[in-house]
Structure 1
């Protein structure tokens, strides 16, 4: 079990220590559930009232929250408790899963594939023709990587993920379980005789930048032609759909169950709330935010926040909701 003194912890997060305790910290927990040997955090004033009933000996606290730690308890005050706690979560994280051998004998690896130094391939994996895998890549059991795919250094791919042919993936990416990269886009047209549907071939690929994280069971479809592109630093939650020929700029965030239809463009730093839907061929410009559950039908200007279905300026939508509540009371 990992164990740290208050001094050890403050050396990691570099805050201001308030109070004293003789307790060692062996873990992290929510404020209501923490025991006396665990640390918690208070990043918002609305949670400050829970401290008096918490059993935690240490709390990481925003420096603009004015409360007292109490007897034999300690605060470490920091500018941003959430970011400080992120550092501690890394410190207390369990050890990585063990690989008995770097390349498991049950993995099927084409003779033309190239695997960089320090990379590991788990049991039951398939790595196809002319695949190039960089250094220090971790591929957990039962991953499929199809022909002519390139994967950059330091990337981690969890079990069940399928990466289709010709995909290009950057450095230090993280794909969680059962991610689908490069499947056909969803494209059909009525047949000439009107009796069925004709499938539109998708012959492009997917290009993913550096530092991208994609959550479990999310899908990124390949382009009809050219590429579906995910920019550097994008963070994609679980159960997200990104359709063919979408282009995401840098550091975009898409929350769970949200989706982009075909040929959507996101600028840099766009935030898409959970369960939001974006119409095809729409552009959401840099710094814009789409509220959870919204349906975007038209382009969104830079820096704008939109809400509702169909989505409009957030202030306008809030006015509509207030007016509806007033009508309901009449």
Structure 2
């Protein structure tokens, strides 16, 4: 078990230590669950009252706190406790799954595939024709990367993910287990004799740099052209992104949310959990869609919408308050 003296840890976090400087930290813990020897964090006034009953030996706190650590405990004061805890998590993080060989003997790598320096490929992986994996790509067991796809440097693709043909993935991305990237978009046309006729989906998916796609999420390829996920987007688990959608940079989509086909998100858009966005809708830069909302029309930049159907946030709250008053009569 890794142990780090609290003084050394404070130096690593560029923080100021207050209290007992001889504490040894062996792990991290949640404020109300941490045990002796563990480090926790307090990121706001509303959590400070929980410190009195916490068994943690130390906490990362904001520099402006007036809270005292108490007897035989310590605080590491940093400019921002959230960022301080992120750094601490990196320090204490256990190693990722290891590879005994760079290319597992059970992996199938097409002879035309191109592998950069330091590429690692796990057991049961399939790498198709003309696939290019840049330097430092890690492909965990039982991943399929189909023909003519391109994966940028230092990207990680976790077990069970399927990367369909012609997909382009940038550098420093993380594709979590069982994600589906580049499957057919959901396109069908009613036909008087044949029922529903499948519309061929001949485009692809283009994913930028520093993108994270959660477990069991799906990003469908375009009917033509590309479905695009911009740099820095973070997609939670169980998210659906339909064909021909275009996401700007640094968008966030929480779990169970979904975009129908041809939705456009500006930069910095936040989509709450279980929210649904109708096809061909445009959501402007830095707009927020509340959890469980249903968006049926365009949203202006910077707006917050709530409800089903979604309306401007303040108006939605007034509606709910009015309904509450009616229900109480």
- Distance, in Å, in 2 between the alignment partners of 1:12 and 1:262 is 46
C-alpha contact 1:295 1:308 (8 A) present in aligned 2: yes
Partner of 1:7: 7
- Give unpaired runs (5+ residues) of structure 1: none
Partner of 2:310: 311
- Distance, in Å, in 1 between the alignment partners of 2:162 and 2:155 is 15
Partner of 1:290: 289
C-alpha contact 2:2 2:92 (8 A) present in aligned 1: yes
- Distance, in Å, in 2 between the alignment partners of 1:315 and 1:17 is 43
C-alpha contact 2:7 2:22 (8 A) present in aligned 1: no
Partner of 2:222: 223
Is 1:272 aligned to 2:271, yes or no?
yes
- Distance, in Å, in 2 between the alignment partners of 1:80 and 1:67 is 15
Partner of 2:299: 300
Runs of 4+ in 1 over 3 A off after TM superposition: none
Q: Which runs of structure 2 are paired with 1:6-155 in the superposition (5 Å)?
A: 6-155=6-155
- Distance, in Å, in 2 between the alignment partners of 1:319 and 1:9 is 49
**Farther-moved stretch of structure 1 (102-111 vs 73-82):** 73-82
- Distance, in Å, in 2 between the alignment partners of 1:47 and 1:264 is 39
Partner of 2:328: 329
**Farther-moved stretch of structure 1 (55-64 vs 222-231):** 55-64
Q: Is the partner of 1:9 in helix, strand or coil? A: helix
Partner of 1:191: 191
Q: 1:260-302: per-residue Cα shift (whole Å, max 9, x none)?
A: 0000000000000000000000000111111100011111111
Partner of 2:211: 212
TM-score by length of 1: 0.98
- Distance, in Å, in 1 between the alignment partners of 2:12 and 2:251 is 28
**Farther-moved stretch of structure 1 (89-98 vs 62-71):** 62-71
- Distance, in Å, in 1 between the alignment partners of 2:81 and 2:284 is 30
Aligned length: 329
- Distance, in Å, in 2 between the alignment partners of 1:63 and 1:279 is 44
- Distance, in Å, in 1 between the alignment partners of 2:270 and 2:12 is 30
Is 1:159 aligned to 2:151, yes or no?
no
TM-score by length of 2: 0.98
Partner of 2:177: 177
C-alpha contact 2:270 2:289 (8 A) present in aligned 1: yes
> What is the deviation of 1:22?
2.6
C-alpha contact 1:21 1:57 (8 A) present in aligned 2: no
Q: Is the partner of 2:4 in helix, strand or coil? A: coil
- Distance, in Å, in 1 between the alignment partners of 2:312 and 2:229 is 26
- Distance, in Å, in 1 between the alignment partners of 2:82 and 2:66 is 17
- Distance, in Å, in 2 between the alignment partners of 1:9 and 1:239 is 37
> What is the deviation of 1:78?
2.0
Q: Is the partner of 1:323 in helix, strand or coil? A: helix
> What is the deviation of 1:324?
1.3
Q: 1:125-174: per-residue Cα shift (whole Å, max 9, x none)?
A: 00000000000010000000000000110000000000000001111100
> What is the deviation of 1:21?
4.4
> What is the deviation of 1:51?
0.7
Q: Is the partner of 1:328 in helix, strand or coil? A: helix
